[in-house]
Amino acid sequence: MKAFVFSEPYKTEWREVPEPVLAEPYGAILSPVAVCACTSDVHTVFGGGKPKQTNHVLGHECVAKVVKTGAQVKDFKAGDIVAVPAITPDWRAVASQEGCERHAGEHFSGHRLGRTIPGVFAERFAIPDADTTLAHIPQGVTLKQALMCVDVMTTGLTGAEYAEINTGDTVCVLGIGPIGLMAIAGAAHMGAARIIAVGSRPKCVEAAKLYGASDVISYRDGDVVERVLAMTSGNGPDCVVIAGGGDEVFTQAVDMVKYGRGVISNVNYYGGDGALAFPKFSGGRGMAGKTIHTELAKGGRARIERMLKMVEYGRIDPEPLVTHTFYGFENIEKAFLLTKEKPADLIKAAVIINEVDL
């Protein structure tokens, strides 16, 4: 079967790859109905740093049709259209039972699709454990909305959740691509009073306002830290969510977040090797009372069904994030390249492989 493969650093290609094998008794084989390209796919191919597994099928954002299930799968059957979480923890691992499901056994173990098991940019793919992974899509939720739940929405909301937002807080969201935009939506839901968004492309600025940003500033127009401090009477925001930018944004977050109770929640990816800079002065020489969380998105079935429920009941509509839609399996490469190029009007590029009624 055909698949879009990360062949070596900085290179992708279409290849014939073996059919996936059904993992008995809990697994499933699925066929993608709609997929999205992700900044993380771009980082996998072009991110540099320590060697990654090459000759690997890319892709982890998908709504799919179940083709076949293992003998012990209870809740899904062939023909079902399901949302496939980007993060697929092994819920049978003891570490998962202790709350460490995203890093059980080894770090990032929950990020399997397109990383340690073949991804969704293929005619078919396998999931090791269907009942704990796949998510039912409620009636009324559209294909594109479901597609936005599997990674973008859960990651943005993970960012907001770890920022420990309290009612009335001032929250700064650094980066307003799809992840930052969903962090804004999450912050608004969690009771943030003021949400300062930092980004530049007009389409994202417009969406930031739609999802609840009260102020939007561009990192291209001067010192972000100085401006955010000036906007907050020198105190800084209570919470900072980092959802974009290079190594410098980590330092900026520590510089700006409030002393004593400031919380930084990072869901951003830092490419290459080396270290991020923790500023000694604004970091209180190690005693500033500033908390830093660094998190992979929450995943698995229950989490994605919660995201879908937020959509079902009209709390968040992630569909406006899909600015570009391609039709046909072969256009996965176009969506991937567009995600790398980031034209001014792009938020997310989706590929509809088969139009289906949900």
Q: Which residues bind ligand NAP (CB under 6 A)?
A: 39-40, 43, 151, 155, 174-180, 198-201, 204, 219, 243-245, 248-249, 267-269, 295-297, 342
Cβ closest to ligand NAP, residue 124 vs residue 298: 298
Is 305 one of the binding residues for Zn ion (CB under 5 A)? no
Residue 47 contacts which entry, Zn ion, ligand NAP, none (Cβ below 5-8 A, type-dependent):
none
The three-state secondary structure class of 57 is strand
Non-local CB neighbours of 32 within 8 Å, separated by 6+ positions: 59, 62, 63, 64, 65, 120, 121, 122, 123, 125, 329, 353
- Tell whether residue 154 is a contact of Zn ion (CB under 5 A): no
| Residue 330, helix vs strand vs coil | helix
Q: Closest separation between CB of residue 19 and ligand NAP, Å?
A: 28
Q: How far is CA 131 from the centre of its chain?
A: 22
Q: List the structure tokens of 126.
A: 């396998």
1: which residues sit within 8 A by CB, 6+ positions away? 16, 17, 18, 19, 122, 123, 124
Least Å from the CB of residue 53 to ligand NAP: 17
Pick the closer one to ligand NAP by CB: 102 or 124. 102
Instruction: Choose from ligand NAP, Zn ion, none: what does 253 bind? Cβ within 5-8 Å by kind.
Output: none
Specify whether the CB–CB gap between 161 and 139 falls below 8 A: no
The residue (of 160 and 296) whose beta carbon lies closer to ligand NAP is 296
How near is the Cβ of 262 to Zn ion at its closest, in Å? 28
- What is d(CA 136, CA 87) in angstroms, rounded to the nearest whole number? 16
The gap from C-alpha 342 to its chain's centroid, in whole angstroms, comes to 16
Shorter beta-carbon distance to ligand NAP: residue 166 or 294: 294
Paired tokens of 95: 């570490």
Residues 53-82 that bind Zn ion (CB under 5 A): 61
Measured CA to CA, the distance from residue 226 to residue 262 in angstroms comes to 17
| 5 CB burial (10 A radius; 0-12, 13-18, 19+) | buried
Residue 38 near Zn ion by CB under 5 A: yes
Please identify, using beta-carbon distances, which residue of 35 and 249 lies nearer to ligand NAP.
249
Which of Zn ion, ligand NAP, none interacts with 114 (beta carbon under 5 to 8 A by kind)? none
Q: How far is the CB of 308 from Zn ion (least distance, A)?
A: 17
Could you tell me which of 129, 201, 235 has the C-alpha nearest to residue 348? 201
Q: Binding partner of residue 282 among ligand NAP, Zn ion, none, CB under 5 to 8 Å per kind? A: none
Nearer to ligand NAP, 123 or 319 (CB): 319
The distance of closest approach from Cβ of residue 43 to ligand NAP in the complex, given in angstroms and rounded to an integer, is 5
Among 12, 31, 40, 132, binds Zn ion (CB under 5 A): 40
Decide whether 70 or 245 has the Cβ nearer to ligand NAP.
Answer: 245
The option from Zn ion, ligand NAP, none interacting with 175 (CB < 5 to 8 A, set by class) reads ligand NAP
Q: Does 151 bind Zn ion (CB under 5 A)?
A: yes
Min dist CB 68 to ligand NAP, Å, is: 29
46 binding partner (options ligand NAP, Zn ion, none; Cβ < 5 to 8 Å by kind) = none
Pairing of the two strands 263-266 and 291-294: parallel
339 touching Zn ion, by CB under 5 A: no
Nearer to Zn ion, 61 or 101 (CB): 61
Decide whether 63 or 249 has the Cβ nearer to ligand NAP.
249
Amino acid at 283: G
Q: What's the closest the beta carbon of residue 303 comes to Zn ion, in angstroms?
A: 14
Amino acid at 311: V
Q: What is the three-class DSSP state of 127?
A: strand
Q: What is the 3-state secondary structure (H, E, C) of 175-197?
A: CCCHHHHHHHHHHHHCCCCEEEE
27/85 Cα distance (integer angstroms): 15
Contacting residues toward Zn ion, per CB under 5 A: 38, 40, 61, 151
